[in-house]
Chains A and B, each alone.
Chain A
Amino acid sequence: MANSGQEALVDLRQVRFAYGDREILSGIDLTVHRGQVVAIMGGSGCGKTTLLRLIGGQLKASAGTVQVAGQDIGGLNTAQLYALRRRMGMLFQFGALFTDMSVFDNVAFPLREHARLPDAMLRDLVLMKLQAVGLRGGHALMPSELSGGMARRVALARAIALDPMLIMYDEPFAGLDPISLGVVGQLIRRLNDALGAASIMVTHDVSESLSIVDYVYFVSDGRIVAKGTPDEIRASKDDFVHQFVNAEPDGPVPFHMKAAPIGEMLMGEVKR
């Protein structure tokens, strides 16, 4: 795997996760190095977001190890986990901005909670973060006054407020128009490089992702079915990757849900 010669910041080994008897992830091996932007792709409900939650410590693996910055997430107590999370940033699917706070206060929130800074310095830092996402001019707006793309950018500014070593993105492109999508994509790449961080994004968006990431993992039915650099993915002969990248309706991921033969169902009794 291309790792840009940097240390492994996130390392998952034989990770398994289940809700009761229902297995969501099994045998996951995944490594993310500092400086990399990595995409985790796969169909809806394949376990991508669960993977992100395991890395963030919101869920605990049923088996295997999840290491972030050399620490085993599963073995941390709340205080240790919070200490580690201060070095992580996360962008939620729809931003998850605090609706009772202005844009400025949203970005200032992690700084106010974790760093005792003089007001003038805090103000400068927040404005710099907003400048980085192009929304310094909107610092006084409320979240309800923002478009989806702008909200995502404010949330991104908030996620990088504490200069994290790891940034996680849950569906960062969902529901964005092409311009906002391009802006958010470029921001993810630029901010990762500027901060010298590692980024992991869970996404469906093939074309935008392949243009900005260093490495891709494909997840299907809770397993990693393919991985590689964007060029390797584009050239892949794997059926699943081919279907996903070319958005084909039928293939290893079937168009039809599993059901009894159609003749049998049409001629048989109606069951509700």
Chain B
Amino acid sequence: MIRKLGAMVIDGVWRLGFASRFLFLLLRYSGQSFLRLHLTLREIYFSGVLSLLIILVSGLFVGLVLGLQGYETLQRYGSSEALGVLVALSLTRELGPVVAGLLFASRAGSAVTAEIGLMKVTEQLKAMDMMAVNPIARVAAPRFWGGVISMPILAALFSAMGILGGWLIGVAFIGVDDGAFWSQMQAAVDIRYDILNGVIKSFVFGVAVSLIAVFEGYDCVPTAEGVSRAITRTVVSSALAILALDFVLTSFMFRG
């Protein structure tokens, strides 16, 4: 039992070390990857553009729910006009980056891990290496940067859709005053304190999810089971990383 626990800890430390070394190599070879920008643009399309549907629809529903719950609570205190502030702050500070990050990890992170893992299983990475083409520069770095660039944009769109959802339920359906909804939001939401911090959060989540996704694919055991386990690890580790990082970042950013 103790031996198993020790082995798990040692294995975890090894993997963390490998992941750090992998990040170093990713950054080192990113220049080569940026020189051929079409590779990164292609990954922005696959990770970002193709995730738009799930992000926009989820954002809308989260906004609708926030609108309903927020109105229900606020009207008890006679301040239902503050619904816009509540929806906007919840989304830009927390829900936008976190939920978009979780959805991004499930939709795009898992796909990246599966793709790189299958390339490893079918020896495509080895073939590339034997052709004197660095697989980290050619395969991993563009996917990493594709994710890092896409994530803040997706989080911003998620928040925008959520605010629209909150407006729909609050103003269009329930009847909260339209002017109050927007003007209170405009007055209370600070571009640096609220929006920029949200963007920083989503950028950090983008780095974490993209690193986990490419590393797990690159490091997977090259069998069907190995790829399947790697995909599971990507989703689970990304979710935990997002939530843990969110706590750390929130504690530094919003101390009242």
Measured CB to CB, the residues of A under 8 A from B are 56, 58, 81-83, 85-86, 88, 90, 92-94, 96-99, 109-110, 113-114, 155
Contact = CB atoms under 8 A, between A and B. Distances in A.
B2 interface: no
Is the interface on chain B under 10, 10 to 19, 20 to 34, or 35 or more residues?
A: 10 to 19
Contact of B122 (A85, A94, A109): A94
Interface of B: 118-119, 122-124, 126-127, 129-134, 138
26 contacts: A56-B130, A58-B126, A58-B129, A82-B134, A85-B130, A85-B132, A86-B132, A88-B130, A90-B127, A90-B130, A90-B131, A92-B126, A94-B122, A96-B124, A96-B126, A97-B124, A98-B124, A98-B127, A99-B119, A99-B122, A99-B124, A110-B131, A110-B133, A113-B131, A113-B138, A114-B132
A83 B134 CA distance: 12
A197 to B, nearest CB: 15
B131 A96 contact: no
A96 B122 contact: yes
Contacts, number: 45
B123 A92 contact: yes
Contacts of B119: 99
A81 B130 CA distance: 10
B114 to A, nearest CB: 12
Given A56-B130, A96-B124, 8 more contacts: A85-B132, A86-B131, A86-B132, A93-B123, A94-B122, A96-B127, A113-B131, A114-B132
A234 B123 CA distance: 34
A180 B223 CA distance: 27
Contact of B131 (A58, A85, A94, A97): A85
A114 B134 CA distance: 12
